[in-house]
Structure 1
Amino acid sequence: MKDTSQQISDLSYQLVQLLIKKNLKISFAESMTGGLFASELTRIEDASKVFKESFVVYSDQAKINVLKCKKTTIDQYTVYSKQVIEEMLLGLRKQSEADILVAVSGIAGPRTYHGLDIGTVYIGIDYQGQIINEKHHFNGDRQEIRYQTLIFTFNKLIEYLKK
């Protein structure tokens, strides 16, 4: 089995190549990954042909200020929810002309929050108006959870783009 670093590099390359082939652009709204998606994608040559932007909205206030998430939604459901992912995607849509939007929020640890387990991650993908909004659980330490989130999300994007 490939090591995590090589796996991420390979997936990033595949994603960039598929986006180029399909002439699509991508943007991210990252919370718990803190810019990891953007960082890994831009390590690939020609990423500039497909990558529009990434907003790192780590704090609740950043989600409110940058993506216009509603404080009432955050207060009612927490930032670790499908409802907030939906608002993150909507806010990203208003700021980006990308064809594919990705939003991620979750708990990488080391502590639990709001009764949710470490490794609880919400991932939203808006591919030309088709929205996927899912809850997942990953195991490991903080960094492993962030890497697993990227690997899962990039695999999911590649799967959709190959259809």
Structure 2
Amino acid sequence: MSLTKQLVDIASNKRLKLTTAESCTGGMVSAAITDIPGSSNVFERGFVTYSNAAKIDLLGVSADTLEEHGAVSEQVADEMAKGALRLANASLAVSITGIAGPGGSQFKPEGRVCFGLAMSGRNIRCETVEFGALGRQNVRQHATDHALTLLLAAVDEASAAD
């Protein structure tokens, strides 16, 4: 059984609603979830907020946070996940912001992706993964897979807590 099928099945059994806030993946996580039959029982909505303006307008990310830390930061991933969770009235939100490439800088290299995971009633978790300069499509796919893994672990955790 695929990772995404497991995610949809467990979330459905637990009656959890999922949402995504994606930047560098451009909706790939949402697409992976909605590829699964029955996903309408668990997937509330996805936010594709590629630009800083979209992050501010659609998710309520602070312009000050973007200015101070840049779009590719755990601070922005945190605010993206919190905004998505609140606005979608969901149980669980994952956010993704990163540099798929080509390019990057000395301080924010290609392949750096920041994730946020927000769940109702729990502390938000953020992490940064350095996928490396694998090429744009590979970074995006690895980031998608990682986000799905984070969601599955959180859904499993919610299951264990019940």
TM-score by length of 1: 0.89
* Partner amino acid, structure 1, of 2:129: H
Which position in structure 2 is the counterpart of 1:6?
A: none
1:11-50 superposed matches below 5 A:
11-50=3-42
Which position in structure 1 is the counterpart of 2:160?
A: none
1:152 is displaced (CA, Å) by 1.5
Residues 114 and 62 of structure 1: is their aligned pair in 2 closer, same or farther, counting only changes over 3 Å? farther
Give, in whole Å, the separation in 2 of the partners of 1:97 and 1:30. 17
Give, in whole Å, the separation in 2 of the partners of 1:17 and 1:45. 10
Which moves more between the two structures, 9-18 or 146-155?
9-18
What is the number of residues matched between the two proteins?
A: 155
Q: After TM superposition, which residue ranges in structure 1, 4 or more long, deviate above 4 angstroms?
A: none
TM-score by length of 2: 0.90
**RMSD, matched Cα:** 1.5
Correspondence 1:147 to 2:141: yes
1:43-82 superposed matches below 5 A:
43-82=35-74
Contact preservation (8 Å) 1:30, 1:56: yes
Contact preservation (8 Å) 2:96, 2:147: no
Contact preservation (8 Å) 1:107, 1:113: no
Which moves more between the two structures, 89-98 or 32-41?
89-98
| SS in structure 2 at match of 1:162 | helix
Q: Which runs of 5+ in 2 are unaligned?
A: 158-162
Give, in whole Å, the separation in 2 of the partners of 1:129 and 1:84. 20
Which moves more between the two structures, 39-48 or 90-99?
90-99
Give, in whole Å, the separation in 1 of the partners of 2:81 and 2:13. 24
| SS in structure 1 at match of 2:2 | helix
Q: Which runs of 5+ in 1 are unaligned?
A: 1-8
Aligned sequence identity (%): 33
Deviations 1:88-123 (A, max 9, x none): 122213311110011110000001047211110000
